[in-house]
Amino acid sequence: MLLLEDVHAYYGQSHVLQSLSFNITAGEVVSLLGRNGAGKTTAIITIMGYLKPRGGRIVYQGSDITGVPPYRLARCGFGFVPQERGIFPSLTVEENLAVAANRRRAGRWDLQAVYGLFPRLKERKSNLGFQLSGGEQQMLAIARALMTNPSLLLLDEPSEGLAPIIVSEILSTIGLLKREGLPILLVEQRLPVALAVADRYLVLNKGQIVLAGPVTDPAKDHELLRKYLSV
């Protein structure tokens, strides 16, 4: 479904992604792991077209999308939840959701569906974005991405800075989306979160995949990856 093949990306003269190659198949959740500065967020914003690669190619559903701008990728079915969430602080919850609705793409996600998924957002639908807690903002960011009725969802650190009870809610949401067959690329620092829902993990170091495998036993995988990712 999504293929990165020998992708190179730079910030100025800094070579961040170095021959990055991996794929995501239909219906699977893939967790992208790595220490701070390993290139995880760079990988996701390169896929999304915010950073143009200087080599390699990115293929989505058989079409080369290398360097395609973000607005066109959204029309192709990419749903993106950035690390900073990016909600509109001066718009209400409902307005944030409404502006993201993609009427060109049919699907089950509309206002009522996302309110069913996140009842708290319905309760807060008239509140402005800046009036929400961090957890509510993250729910809104995910709900807004779903309003595009994506065929692929990219989540960048969805549990960052959230209380454990909110993290549990986010995990339940990702699990539900997985059961519905929505493929997800999950960038995540918390190993328990990353392994709880993933089918496979990829470990990134200095812009390259250095370890990859299926999630077979989360407890054993956690121990292996904890040692591998420790500073």
53 within domain boundaries: yes
Q: Which residues pair with 184 in a beta bridge?
A: 29, 153
In a domain, 83, yes or no: no
Inside any domain, residue 196: yes
Classify residue 103: in a domain, yes or no. Answer: no
In a domain, 206, yes or no: yes
CATH code of the domain containing 34: 3.40.50.300
> How many other C-beta atoms can be found within 10 angstroms of the C-beta atom of residue 168?
14
Our count of domains for the chain comes to 1
Confidence of residue 230 (pLDDT cuts 50, 70, 90): low
Indicate if the pLDDT at residue 184 is higher than 60: yes
Residue 3 lies in a domain: yes
Domain assignment present for residue 46? The answer is: yes
**Whether the predicted pLDDT of 231 surpasses 70:** no
Phi then psi dihedrals of residue 198, to 5 deg: -85, 150
Structural domain that includes position 60: 1-77+152-158+185-231
Residue 45 has pLDDT above 70, yes or no: yes
CA-CA distance, 32 to 40, in Å (whole number)?
A: 7
Q: What does 153-211 look like in DSSP terms, one character per residue?
A: EEEESTTTT--HHHHHHHHHHHHHHHHTT--EEEE-S-HHHHHHH-SEEEEEETTEEEE
Question: Does residue 31 lie within any of the structural domains?
Answer: yes
Residue 161's pLDDT is 87
pLDDT at position 73 is: 87
Return the residue matching tokens 């959701």: 97
Taking the C-alpha atoms of residue 62 and residue 21, their distance in angstroms, rounded to an integer, is 16
